[in-house]
Amino acid sequence: METKKLKRIFRQYLLGHAGEKESGTVDHWYSSFDGMSVPELSRDEEEMIRQEIWGRISLQLRERRTFFLRPVLTGAAAAVLLAAAGLAWFLVQRSAAPAFTVITTATGQRKTVNMEDGTRLVMNAGSTVRIYKDLSHERRLSIDDGEVFFDVKQGPDKPFIVESGPLTTTVLGTSFNIIAYKDVQRLHVGVVSGKVSVNTSILTKGQELVYDRKTGKGKVNPLDESLLEWQNGNLVLNDASFGEMVILMQKNFGVAITADQPDVRETRYTTELPVTMDPVNAAEILAAIHHLKIRTNGRHVLLYK
């Protein structure tokens, strides 16, 4: 209902001039809140609403101070009612916000998730996803961090939507892999079977979109299937930056790798490591392959030349 029309109905209701139909509309609106669970508000939200209600009342009082008492009070009452209507709308919208199930994997952990619609997810270490609880309404999830392989159950009437930062992947039934670590500059969407839509790009079997967060540009390449080896318990680095390597080593082995020398930080890293290895041994192999040395302090590893 339009805001102007809503205001007019409320004012007529307060003045006792509303017709039977309009009075019934307002009464029905009031009764619709019976039994509704009201979400708890933060202090900032409470203060925002208080200021909104008082602002509407004071505005009415300033504008009508030369009139008789009844019109002033009526105007103030209308302002309160309209503000209350705004509050109710805010609470309804807040209550109606989509409910998610959050699933995470710990360092070194991999997890298979079977969704209600038959879709299967395999989550890599250190990943977090949010899945809509009501899949009958919309098949949608978000990758907040990490890497996930999807085997999507076909559902032509409801496409499967995956949000991963700036990318939105839409499919009907296919299998694909998304790498979307929140602190890594590059995002990957690789298609193993079927076809997917990623923003404005269409990817088919054997193709991969590599998106750069910094430039905001993406490039379609042949799928590097070695990157899927994480499902077999291997960490694969393929021309990874120092920052990317650090994050993946931490998520898979729980080691914190640092480097002070610019040459080490500018090195691109390529290797394959079983995630069952001892963390320090994994760091030693990584260093040896790239002609580097390590100094350890527990699970803190310094790479140097």
Q: pLDDT tens, 122-151?
A: 999 999 999 988 877 789 999 999 999 999
Q: What is the 3-state secondary structure (H, E, C) of the chain?
A: CCHHHHHHHHHHHHHCCCCHHHHHHHHHHHHCCCCCCCCCCCHHHHHHHHHHHHHHHHHHHHHCCCCCHHHHHHHHHHHHHHHHHHHHHHHHHHHCCCCEEEEECCCCCCEEEECCCCCEEEECCCCEEEEECCCCCCEEEEEEECEEEEECCCCCCCCEEEEECCEEEEECCCEEEEECCCCCCEEEEEEEECEEEECCEEEECCEEEEEECCCCEEEEEECCHHHHHHHHCEEEEEEECHHHHHHHHHHHHCCEEEECCHHHHCCCEEEEEECCCCHHHHHHHHHHHCCCEEEEECCEEEEEC
- Output the six-digit token pair for 111: 């997890």
pLDDT of residue 283: 97
pLDDT above 70 for 91: no
**Same CATH topology for 100-228 and 233-304?**
no
Of the candidate CATH numbers 3.40.220.10, 2.60.40.1250, 3.90.1640.10, 2.60.120.1440, the domain formed by 100-228 belongs to 2.60.120.1440
Is the separation of the CB atoms in 177 and 147 below 8 Å? yes
Going from N- to C-terminal start, the domains of the chain cover: 3-95, 100-228, 233-304
pTM summary value: 0.67
Nearest to 138 by CA among 118, 114, 157, 166: 157
Q: Give CATH for domain 233-304.
A: 3.55.50.30
pLDDT confidence of 48, banded at 50, 70, 90? low
Average the pLDDT over 49-70 and give the result. Answer: 52
